[in-house]
Each structure stands twice: as C-alpha cells, then as structure tokens.
C-alpha cells in the first residue's frame, strides 16, 4: 500500500470516528405520541406502591421502568410490568397490595402505541379489561394531558402486538374474548388464572388468531371444550396448555386435527375420561405431554414408546390399570416420567428403564402399591435422578437407590420397611426435600443428622429421641410418632446454634416428649409456626418465646404446662393462632394479646378473673374459646364490636402455612384446631378460616346476655352454657342469620323464648335446657324440629316438641297471643268487680228494708232447723248399723 492510500485510509477512519462520537452524544428522545399514550395508561391505573414513579414528563420515556424502545426509531416496542407478588408465610393468597390494579384499557393502549409488539402485565391485580376502541374514548384520553398533539387515528386491526401476557391476575374476570379477533399478529397469548367462566365461545374466538403459536389458558374455569367439533383452525399452534379447567368429557375431536408438529400439550387437572386415543400418534414430535389428574382409564398404551423426542410424560393421578409398558424404557429423550397414583400392577424391573439415561424425575408411587419391584441387586441405573417418588412392597429398600448421588427430592409412599445406618446416612445428604410421611418405618432417629430443606417424617412410627438438624432445614414435621426425650436436644444443639438457622416450621406434636420447653428459643428467630401439642411437656412457658418476631402460629395444647402466660409474648406482633388448651395454666386472661389474632384457644385451664375489655379491640378475631375455666364477671358489651365477626368476612384469607421450597414449588400446610361445635368436638383444618366461634361455656360468668353480642352476624357457633347468666334471651338474637349452633343450657335465664329465634334458618343445633324459661315454644318448623332434649329442665315451658301441653291460660306465641291474654285479664277483673258490687248491694237492701230483713232471718232459721234434723237422722242411722254389725 502506498503512502497516499495510507493517508486516505487514516483520514477516512478519523472521519468515521468523529461521526460515531458525535452521534453518540446525541440525546434520542422517545416519540411524544408514545409518551402521551403511556401517561394516559398510567393515569387510568392505581399504583399503591408507586411502581411507575419514574414515569414523569421530566424523563425520557425510553428510560421509564418497564419500557423498551427501538434502537433506531425510538418508538415504544415493549411494555413489561409484571408484579413480583409473594406469598405471606401464613396465607395461601398472594400478597398483591403493592401491585398495579384498576382497569386495563387495552384497546386504547394498542391504538395509541402503534409499534408495540410485546405487552406483559402478568401477576398484577387488575380487576377488569376495557376494550372500547371508539374514537370518542380515544379523544377523552387525549384530554388527560393538555398541550400535547392529538394522537393519530389508525385501525386496531393493524396492531403489531405479537405477545400478550395477562396471566395470574386472579381477580380479573373477562366476559367476552371478542376483542381477540382484532389482534391478528398475535403469536403468544397467556390468559392463565383469569376468570373466563362466562365466555362459552372461547375456542372459536381463539382460532381466529392464525399466527398463534403458543396458547396458555390454565385455570380459567373453562367448561366447554367443544368435544364434538371436528376441526379447529390452529394452523400455527406449537404449544397448547389448557390445564386446571373444568372439562368433563371425552377427548375433543378437533385436538387430533392440530398441526402434526405440535411440541407440547397440557390437559392436566381436568375431568377428561376414557382411554388414550391412538390418534395421539399424529403428534410424534411431542416433547411435552401432561395429562395429570384426570379420569383417564384403560392400560398405558405401548405405542407411547414411539415418541422418541418426548421429554416430559405425566400420567399421574388417573385410573390407568395394567402394567407399566417396558417399551417406555426406549424413550431416550425422557427427563420426567410420572405414572403415580394409578391402579397399576405387575412387575417393574430394569427393563422399564433401559435407555432412560437423561431421566431426572421419576414418580412411580401409589397410595395403594400393587407394583412389585424386581430389580437385580447389582443393577446400576443409566440415570442420575434429581426427584424420586416410589412405593414398594416388602421390607427392603431397592438397592439401586443408593447409587443416586444427585437426588434433591425423595418421596416414599405407603411402604413398610426397615431402616439402618446406611439409609439414614443416605438421606442425611439430601439438601432438598425428604418426605416419608405415612409409611411404617422400623427405625431409630437418635443421633441422626438431617439436612434437607423440607422434612416430613410424620405418622411413620419412628422411635428414639429427636434427630439433630442442620441450619439448612426450613420445614420440620415429625408429628404423630413415638419419639421421646426432651426438645432441648433439638433446640439447644451447640453445633447448630453456631450458624444462622433457617427453620420456619416446627411440628413435633403427638409424641411422647417430656421435660420443659427449654429457653433456647432466642436462637430460632426465623420460626413462623410452632406446634408442640399433645406431649408430656411440663413447666412454664419460657419468656424467650417472646423473642420470635415472626411467630404466627403457636400450639402448646394438651401438655402439663402451668403458671401464667408470660408477658413477653406480646412482642410476637404477627401472632394469628394461639392455642394452649388443656393445660394447667392460671392467672388472668392477658390484656395485651395482639389485636391481629384470629384464633385464641385457652380452653380447659385454670384461668380466672374477668374477660378483659381489651379483647374487644381484636378486630380480626374469628375464634374465641375460653371454655372450662373459672372466669367470672360480666360479658363485656363491647364484644359486639369485633369487626371480622360483624361483617362476616372471616374467609378472606385461609389459615395455612406457606413457603417456597425446592424449584419455586409452593408448600401449603393447613393449620388446625379442635373445637366444640354442635355439641361435639371436631377437628377443623382446611376449612378453619370459615369457622366463626365464640365459646365461653363452663365458667362463672354472671349478669345478663348483652344484646350487643347479637350484632356479631357473622358468627356460626355461640356457646354460653354452664354459667350463672340471668335475665331474658334478647330478641336481637334473630339478627344472627348465619348461626348454626347455639347453646345457652345450664344457666338461670328466664322469660319466654324470643319469637325471632325461629327465623334462624341455618340453626342445626340448639340447647336451651335447664334454665327457667316459661311460656310456649314459638311455632315454626325451625324450633319444633329439635328434640325435647333441647328444652328439658325448664318446668314452665310447654308446647311441641315437649310432651307438656300448654293450658288454656298459657300465653300463645302466635300473633293473637298478646291480645287474647290482655282480654282474659280484663275479663276476670270485670267478674270480680261485678260480684263485689252485687254482694254489697244485697247487704244494703237487707239491712235498710225492715220487711226484707225479717224474711231473710226467717229463711236462715228454717235452714238451721232442716240441717239439724238431717244431721240427727244420719247419726242415729250410723249407730244402728254399728250395733247390728
């Protein structure tokens, strides 16, 4: 290259560098129309946590949160605003108080953002979707911000939108999907967890999207799958997931006319029935097939072994019968296989897994295992599993299990086997999930160290002392076993306490643990739920329990604890359930109990004193059980102010422990309480949040039943029996329309049964026995439908169903009762007055008239003589009869 050429090359390079440098210093601002459109969108939303704080006129809209612009044109092409909603530790409903809410004006957004192709609003809390794309609506939005040029008109059919994700907006209900036909460019659509119950024409509308390749509509409450429809125009569809809907039919015919290159089908958690059609062979390119939890029956087809690219096959929780086909072992691409919870039988051996070298997840377990494991004791599997669920008959664990070095999740169901040191050494290496509940295990856990994040060894018959835990453990359930010793070996292990612990859930209830509650709780501040009930624990409740700031549920029931409840527990501000029933605790009911408490159970202890008025401030309370104590004084009037029971919104959130465990899998464990309702003790678990109960029975309460108590219209069960209550039953009791169980027995109540009581149509248990109630039982099928035992012991009570009939003078409880009673009273008063007046009139006439006076006395003398003669004759006759005898 000559010098001149070199010089020109250098000059050209310098020129290009100058252009690039100057270009990079230019500020590329977003399009003003797009900016106005985004502001219009913002103004129509509610943003409680100020997520869109960066959306202001002072900033370039291409720099706003969730906004992506084209590199060259600077037009908005993507809007991504998903909410990172999380599960609170003690509810199964996501906390979305910080998410975007309000209405989605989708048509206006798409009309105004002309070049948007990606819209992601998933996992927010939108309430409805507006799709009015009239120019009037557009103009009204333009007026939201003045000094901005009007947006250009265009047709919605020219929308460039290719991806739309509105999933996981659980409160969003869409009555019509007609607007979908305007989004002709759509390729990806996710409407999962949106209520589409009223849209019965969903299939026909979705098939108008000829470019659609991915469709997710899980858990949309869809019912009609159009099983008789022959053809659905899904020409480009590659992935279809309609899981968790309400399809109750045979396989739809249109399904098998889909594109033969479809790669994924999801129909899990429906009610599809019948055998698997051989028409599935049309989809040999399937990589994903999820049919879990349906009513599918017949054998597992052998031809499934021909799906050579299949990676995920889920047939669990159905009614398949017969054996597991051996040719499933030819699916060399398979990573997940689930045939659990079916009616399978026969032999499973290494022949079923010959070529499954890529297998990571194997579920071959059942609640009633009939499969026989017949593996060569020297067989080494071609796979290394990460998840394994098995059920087997016989006392020996399959030897090949010990070759699996990558297992993160181990489940063994409904099996009976012996454990030795080799087994516990193997499971101690697990760092994910260990679930052996419901088995019959012959083993001892003394000196065993467990390391898995989630441990469930409940109801297994284990013996020995509590095993040691590593700091990695988050959920620990060893309830309903035969474990003994004290809990200090678990909670006061110095090796564990030297590191930060992650334990959030502890349940060692229904065992034989003894000793005190230990004072090592300060080292377990991550705890959310603690259940030590139904053991032989003794001593005081330690003050260190008040150092658990996240504690939400505390069960110490059915032990031998004594003393007072320590005031330090008032520091547990998150407490929702406090259960210490059936101990020997004493003292007054604390007046510092957290106002957010939902369930307070102090039943069967030795608490005394009065009911503190501070209890009236517990606005979230749904269960108050202080029965079988020695509490005295009056029932506070202000109990009628407990907000949750007044407005009947107790079921808004469930009382379930929740936590994210392995692989973002959500764990839900229902809390439970044993409550006395309808005269018997029952255990309430998954429906505990629906129970609203007030039980103050078997105490020394006195005074009257305050009428304000009956403003608790959300109450289901009310028990004030076995006290010293007096007065009448207030007529306001008729306000409690939800009441199902009412017990006022063994008190000193008097007066008549209120007529309004007969209007409680849900009342299925009533006990008013052994009081001083009077009058007639009100008429109506409600009160007459109970047995006489609901009313016995009230001596002046009459009417059906009692055998004692009401007399003529008894007050009737029909509408004429009051007027008839009043008439009879005045009638008898009139008779008495007339008699007295007549008697005085006769006396006056006799003594004032001389002729009448002589006549009157002559009548008396004659009457005297006749009586004398009659008596003498009778005496003589009696004497003669005696002599003859």
CA distance 249 to 225: 8
Q: Looking at the DSSP assignment, which residues form a beta bridge with residue 506?
A: 476, 530
Q: What is the pLDDT of residues 433-488, one digit of tens each?
A: 999 998 888 888 888 899 999 999 999 999 999 998 898 999 999 999 999 999 98
Look at residue 416 in the predicted model and tell me its pLDDT.
85
Q: How far apart are the first and last CA of the chain?
A: 176
User: Residue 45 sits in a domain of what CATH number?
Assistant: 3.80.10.10
Whether 486 maps to a domain, the answer reads no
Whether 403 maps to a domain, the answer reads no
Closest CA to 216 of 158, 276, 259, 266: 266
List the structure tokens of 866: 């006749």
Helices (H), 161-273: 202-206
Torsion of CA 750, 753, 757, 759, to 10 degrees: -170
Whether 186 maps to a domain, the answer reads no
Residue 173 gets which letter from DSSP? B
User: Pairing mode, if any, of strands 101-105 and 45-46?
Assistant: antiparallel
CA distance 666 to 268: 18
Look at residue 84 in the predicted model and tell me its pLDDT.
86
User: Pairing mode, if any, of strands 118-120 and 273-274?
Assistant: unpaired
CA distance 823 to 818: 9
Look at residue 23 in the predicted model and tell me its pLDDT.
44
Q: What are phi and psi of 409, to 5 degrees?
A: -140, 115
Q: Looking at the DSSP assignment, which residues form a beta bridge with residue 48?
A: none
Angle at 695 between CA 766 and CA 722, to 5 degrees: 70
Domain boundary among 750, 784, 806: 806
Burial class (CB in 10 A: 0-12, 13-18, 19+), 136: exposed
Q: What are phi and psi of 13, to 5 degrees?
A: -65, -45
Whether 819 maps to a domain, the answer reads no
Whether 262 maps to a domain, the answer reads no
Domain boundary among 771, 789, 806: 806
Closest CA to 100 of 125, 117, 82: 125
Sign of the Cα pseudo-torsion (438, 439, 440, 444, in order): negative
- Model confidence, pTM: 0.82
Kindly give the parts of the chain with pLDDT less than 50.
1, 3-4, 10-11, 14-26, 133, 135-148, 650-651, 811-828, 835-836, 842, 846, 850, 852, 869, 872-873, 878-885
**What is 3-28 written as a DSSP string?**
HHHHHHHHHHHHHHHHHHHHHHHS--
Q: What are phi and psi of 245, to 5 degrees?
A: -115, -160
How many other C-beta atoms are found inside a 10 Å radius of the C-beta of residue 433?
A: 22
Whether 823 maps to a domain, the answer reads no
Number of domains making up the chain: 2
Structural domain including 593 reads: 576-806
Whether 489 maps to a domain, the answer reads no
Measure Cα distances from 557 to 492, 509, 526, 585, 588 in Å.
22, 9, 22, 11, 18
Q: What is the pLDDT of residues 826-842, one digit of tens each?
A: 444 555 555 445 555 54
Domain boundary among 773, 806, 839: 806
Q: Answer for the pair 510, 534: CB distance below 8 angstroms, yes or no.
A: yes
Look at residue 497 in the predicted model and tell me its pLDDT.
66
Look at residue 143 in the predicted model and tell me its pLDDT.
47
Look at residue 812 in the predicted model and tell me its pLDDT.
41
Whether 293 maps to a domain, the answer reads no
């Amino acid at each position: 290259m000559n010098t001149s050429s070199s010089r020109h090359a250098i000059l050209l390079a310098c020129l290009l560098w100058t252009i690039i440098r100057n270009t990079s210093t230019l500020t590329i601002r977003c399009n003003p129309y797009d900016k106005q459109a985004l502001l219009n969108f913002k103004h129509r939303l509610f943003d409680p946590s100020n997520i869109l704080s960066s959306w202001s006129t002072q900033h370039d809209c291409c720099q706003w949160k969730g906004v992506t612009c084209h590199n060259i044109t600077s037009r908005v092409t993507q809007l991504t605003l998903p909410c990172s909603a999380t599960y609170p530790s003690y509810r199964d409903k996501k906390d979305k108080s910080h998410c975007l809410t309000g209405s989605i004006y989708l048509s206006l957004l798409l009309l105004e953002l002309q070049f948007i192709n990606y819209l992601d609003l998933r996992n927010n809390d939108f309430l409805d979707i507006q799709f009015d794309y009239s120019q009037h609506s557009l103009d009204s939005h333009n007026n939201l911000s003045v000094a901005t040029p009007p947006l250009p008109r265009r047709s919605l059919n020219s929308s460039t939108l290719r991806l739309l994700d509105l999933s996981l907006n659980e409160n969003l209900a869409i009555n019509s999907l007609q607007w979908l036909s305007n989004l002709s460019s759509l390729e990806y659509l996710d409407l999962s967890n949106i209520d589409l119950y009223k849209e019965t024409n969903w299939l026909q509308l979705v098939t108008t999207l000829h470019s659609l390749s991915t469709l997710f509509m899980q858990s949309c409450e869809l019912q009609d799958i159009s099983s008789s429809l022959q053809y659905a125009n899904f020409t480009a569809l590659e992935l279809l997931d309609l899981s968790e809907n309400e399809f109750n039919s045979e396989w739809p015919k249109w399904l098998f006319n889909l594109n033969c290159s479809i790669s994924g089908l999801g129909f899990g958690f429906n009610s599809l029935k019948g055998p698997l059609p051989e028409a599935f062979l049309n989809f040999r390119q399937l990589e994903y097939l999820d049919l879990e939890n349906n009513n599918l029956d017949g054998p597992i087809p052998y031809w499934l072994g021909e799906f050579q690219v299949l990676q995920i096959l889920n047939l669990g929780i159905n009614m398949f019968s017969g054996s597991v086909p051996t040719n499933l072992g030819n699916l060399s691409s398979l990573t997940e296989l689930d045939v659990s919870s079916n009616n399978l039988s026969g032999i499973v051996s290494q022949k079923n897994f010959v070529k499954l070298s890529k297998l990571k997840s194997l579920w071959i377990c059942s609640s009633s295992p009939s499969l026989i494991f017949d593996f060569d004791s020297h067989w080494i599997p071609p796979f290394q599993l990460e998840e394994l669920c098995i059920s087997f008959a016989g006392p020996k664990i399959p030897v090949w299990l010990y070759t699996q070095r990558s297992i993160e999740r181990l489940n063994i169901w409904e099996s009976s086997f012996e454990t030795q040191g080799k087994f516990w050494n193997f499971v101690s290496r697990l760092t994910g999930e260990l679930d052996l509940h419901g088995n019959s295990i012959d083993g001892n856990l003394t000196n065993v160290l467990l390391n898995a994040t989630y441990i469930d060894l409940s109801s297994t018959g284990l013996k020995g002392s509590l095993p040691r835990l590593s700091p990695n453990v988050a959920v620990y359930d060893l309830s309903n076993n035969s474990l003994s010793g004290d809990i200090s070996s678990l909670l006061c292990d110095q090796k564990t306490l030297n590191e930060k612990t992650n334990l959030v859930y502890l349940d060692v209830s229904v065992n034989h643990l003894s000793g005190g509650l230990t004072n090592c709780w300060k080292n377990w501040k991550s705890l959310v739920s603690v259940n030590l009930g139904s053991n032989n624990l003794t001593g005081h409740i330690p003050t260190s329990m008040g150092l658990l700031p996240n504690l939400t549920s505390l069960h110490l029931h059915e032990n031998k604890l004594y003393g007072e409840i320590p005031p330090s527990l008032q520091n547990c501000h998150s407490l929702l359930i406090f259960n210490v029933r059936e101990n020997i605790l004493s003292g007054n009911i604390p007046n510092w109990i957290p106002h957010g408490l939902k369930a307070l159970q102090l039943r069967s202890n030795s608490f005394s004193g009065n009911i503190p008025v501070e209890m009236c401030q517990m606005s979230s309370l749904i269960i108050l059980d202080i029965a079988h104590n020695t509490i005295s004084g009056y029932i506070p009037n202000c109990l009628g102010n407990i907000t949750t029971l007044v407005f009947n919104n107790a079921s808004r959130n469930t009382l379930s422990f929740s936590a994210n465990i392995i692989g973002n899998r959500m764990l839900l464990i229902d809390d439970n309480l044993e409550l006395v309702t309808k005269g018997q003790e029952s255990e309430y678990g998954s429906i505990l949040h629906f129970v609203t109960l007030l039980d103050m029975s078997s105490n020394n309460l006195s005074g009257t039943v305050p009428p304000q108590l009956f403003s608790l219209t959300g109450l289901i069960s009310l028990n004030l029996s076995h006290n010293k209550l007096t007065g009448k039953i207030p007529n306001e009791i008729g306000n409690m329309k939800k009441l199902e169980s009412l017990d006022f027995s063994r008190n000193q109540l008097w007066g008549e049964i209120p007529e309004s009581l007969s209007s409680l149509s849900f009342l299925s248990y009533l006990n008013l026995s052994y009081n001083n109630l009077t009058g007639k039982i009100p008429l109506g099928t409600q009160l007459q439908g109970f047995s006489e035992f609901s009313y016995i012991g009230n001596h002046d009570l009459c009417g059906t169903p009692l055998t004692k009939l009401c007399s003529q003078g008894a007050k009737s409880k029909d509408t004429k009762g009051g007027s008839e009673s009043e008439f009879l009273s005045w009638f008898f008063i009139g008779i008495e007055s007339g008699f007295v007046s007549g008697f005085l009139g006769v006396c006056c006439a006799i003594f004032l008239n001389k002729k009448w006076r002589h006549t009157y006395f002559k009548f008396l003398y004659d009457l005297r003589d006749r009586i004398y003669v009659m008596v003498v004759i009778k005496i003589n006759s009696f004497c003669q009869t005696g002599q003859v005898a």
